[in-house]
Structure 1
Amino acid sequence: MRAFIVKRYGKKEKLHLTELPNPDVKENDVLVQIHSAGVNLLDSLIKNGDFKLFLHYKPPFVNGHDVAGVVTKIGSKVSKFKVGDEVYSRVGDYRTGTFAEYISIDEADLALKPKNLTMDEASSIPLVGLTAWQALVEIGHVKKGQKVFIQAGSGGVGVFAIQLAKHLGAYVATTTSTMNVDWVKKLGADLVIDYKNQDFETKLKDYNLVIHSNHDTKILEKSLRVLKPGGQLISLVGPPTIEFASQIGLPWYLKLVTGLLSAGVKKKAKKLNVRFLFLFMKAEGSQLGEITSLIEAGVIIPMVDKVFSFEQTNEALAYVETGRTKGKVVIKIK
């Protein structure tokens, strides 16, 4: 099969197209012929080596986390899927490899593709959908009437999270650039702040939950201050916490590192009587199945910005790195 691999870590490194044997299929695995692969900033960060302290992939390895395709083979203990099923997934950590023609996926990380979506649309969903679900439902326990601030409303996670938060009954505020204000309002946001001309801290007060996705430490501190006492900020960009280190089974010395990295923001949060949490989303097929139901019911509508050919994988990654996408970027493989 053809696949794009990371030969070595580095921000200036490109992915390399190469020929590899088809992946092995273990007893709990499903072999999927990939039709489309979603592109995420995580793919770029993994390539750059930004996560190698916590998630160390030994080069060369195939990059990519989001996939939609057709089952071509199943392992001896697989019970939920059969050959011919149309499926999608955010593959598990250390199982990257969606920038290829085939991938072997643990059935626990897989779900049936929404019937009303194309392969391209379906591949745009898993990582951002699971991130939003785990932030708003699993951790945030968002209830009707609560106030939720979702940063970067026109980005991949933002687009999905706004729709999900509105479905849960929340009042939703978000930020975006001037040109996307009207577009984000149509997604359902109640209050849209043009970050180029407005300061969200002057507009927001007493929020129950903030979904934080900006690397600027000043933005993080402002975000804590818009919460009501007892509120929580769930960060998608860090700093990572001891709880995260324990969750993914890191050794004690890395737990110590994460504790030091997050000590400052946790102290600020405690002073304000709010909680700071770091979310590094996990693959979860059952949650993806819940998302499938919402999509088929018309609650969530995917927003695909651009579709690139398989040969343009590096260009797709570069486009995502600009931070100017409007929805998701997809690579059409089959």
Structure 2
Amino acid sequence: MRTYMKTAQITRYSKQIHAEVIETTKPEIQANEVLVQVKEAAVNPLDLMNIDGSVKLIQNYRMPLVLGNELSGVIEAVGSQVTGFEVGDAIYTRLPVPKIGAFAEYVVVSADAIWHLPSNLNFKTGAAAALTGLTAYQALHEELQMKAGQTLFIPGGSGSFGQMAIPLAKAMGLTVIVSGNAQAKSRTLAIGADQYLDYRTENYWDVLSKVDAVIDTLGTSAIAHELAIIKPGGRLLSLKAGPNKQFAVNYGSPKWKQWLFGLAGAKLDRQARQAGVTYGFMFVRASGEQLRDITTVIEANDIVPAVDPKAFSLADVNEALRYVKDGHPQGKVLISF
């Protein structure tokens, strides 16, 4: 007998927020997959980019597309080849980039993309942890290849990204410097930052010099100042400013995309070269193995991601998306099932 579920999907890329809630057939699993009953789905700026097509050169989705990149939930069925997970297990995940769809009552996901919900988190805080946790982990370990004793600066690092990145960086033995607003100072120092600069009273480019790496969360307007404080041979990794040719090569993009991204990122590469620095851009991917390591750090440091108090259901999906776009959320925005 067929069973149905509700999903929030789009049928075309558009500058308008226009997700529709419809009923679709409940999906069936393959041998290496699990079926998850979604409890909480996080709403991210990435979802807005999936709607307007601004990342379609990185990942072009077939339509209709069920939105949503990040969730927590309970396993309802387990494929015959899956080990380490059982029916009833609470999990969290950043869904694999080619197969998103967290804004749904059920989702099928490869078992190698999930991990057990950290013991100190509930479904709400757990749904807020996977994407930022993986972004921070991949930035530090893979993109920047940071080593103990090195110095990392995160401008604008007082928000949800810094909340995950700082303890992960400290666990690697790094010195971590952050800039942000005055209200976030004590909380950011409490989770391990070694130095905190209030951006309203101090220009970091006047205070800092010769740091090993910078993770940019602010975009192109900040690049020149960020490059100025990095030591020769250091690295700048942006989460926002845009891809370059090296990103396309690393991502396994075809030659025409490498050429296109090379063109788009030429100015950033040139600025970095002139400063004697390497520029990079990243797009976070799914990894259950990395979530396992992240879980250890979350539990050891009792990291609890901030969640916005506003409550949204699947029927409110467009309101939730608009809130992420134009509101001022006090933490991760969630759709509750």
Query: Which consecutive residues of structure 2, in runs of 5 or more, have no partner in the other structure?
Result: none
Query: Per-residue deviation at 1:139?
Result: 2.8
Which residue of 2 is the match for residue 300 of structure 1?
303
TM-score for both structures, normalised by structure 2: 0.92
Alignment pair present for 1:66 and 2:91: no
Count residues in correspondence. 332
RMSD between aligned residues: 1.9
- Which amino acid in structure 1 is aligned with residue 264 of structure 2? L
The one-character-per-residue Cα deviations of 1:14-65 (angstroms, maximum 9, x if unpaired) are: 2211111112312211110001112211111111111112211122211001
Which residue, 227, 247, 250 being the options, matches 2:250?
247
Task: Note if 1:184 corresponds to 2:167.
Answer: no
| 1:131-162 Cα shifts (integer Å, max 9, x gaps) | 00011123323334322111222332122112
Q: One-letter code of the match for 2:293? A: E
Q: CA separation in 1, counterparts of 2:248 and 2:301? A: 37
| Match in the other structure for 1:37 | 41
Instruction: State the partner residue of 1:7.
Output: 11
Aligned residue number for residue 133 of structure 1: 137
Shift of 1:164: 1.8
Conserved? CA contact 2:121–2:304, under 8 Å = no
User: Distance between the aligned counterparts of 1:213 and 1:169, measured in 2?
Assistant: 22
Q: Structure 1: which amino acid aligns with 2:251? A: I
Give % identity. 36
TM-score by length of 1: 0.92
Paired residue secondary structure (1:317): helix
> Residue 196 of structure 2 aligns to which amino acid in structure 1?
V
Structure 2 Cα separation of the partners of residues 313 and 197 of structure 1: 38
Determine the C-alpha separation between the residues in 2 that align with 1:134 and 1:326.
Answer: 25
Deviation, structure 1 residue 294? 1.5
Q: Distance in 2 between matches of 1:305 and 1:163?
A: 21
Residue by residue over 1:193-213, the C-alpha shift from the partner in whole angstroms, topping out at 9 and shown as x without a partner, is: 333443221122111110112
| Equivalent residue for 1:287, pick from 285, 290, 314 | 290
* Superposed counterparts of 1:6-155, under 5 Å: 6-155=10-159
1:269 matches 2:272:
yes
CA distance in 2, matches of 1:164, 1:191: 16
* CA deviation after TM superposition for structure 1 residue 299, in Å: 5.3
Equivalent residue number for residue 233 of structure 1: 236
CA–CA distance in structure 2, aligned partners of residues 242 and 208 of structure 1: 22
Q: 5+ unaligned residues in a row in structure 1: which ranges?
A: none
8 Å Cα contact 2:244-2:269 kept in structure 1? no
User: Which shows bigger deviation, 273-282 or 297-306?
Assistant: 297-306
Deviation at 1:83, TM superposition (A): 1.3
Tell me which amino acid in the other structure corresponds to 1:155.
G
The whole-number CA distance in structure 1 between the counterparts of 2:31 and 2:252 is 24
Residue 323 and residue 255 in structure 1: after superposition, are their counterparts in 2 closer, same or farther (change >3 A)? farther
Within 2, Cα distance between the matches of 1:89 and 1:240?
A: 24
Letter in 2 for 1:269: A
Query: Partner residue of 1:204?
Result: 208
Change (3 A) 1:203 1:155: same
Q: 1:67 to 1:164 in 2, by over 3 A?
A: same
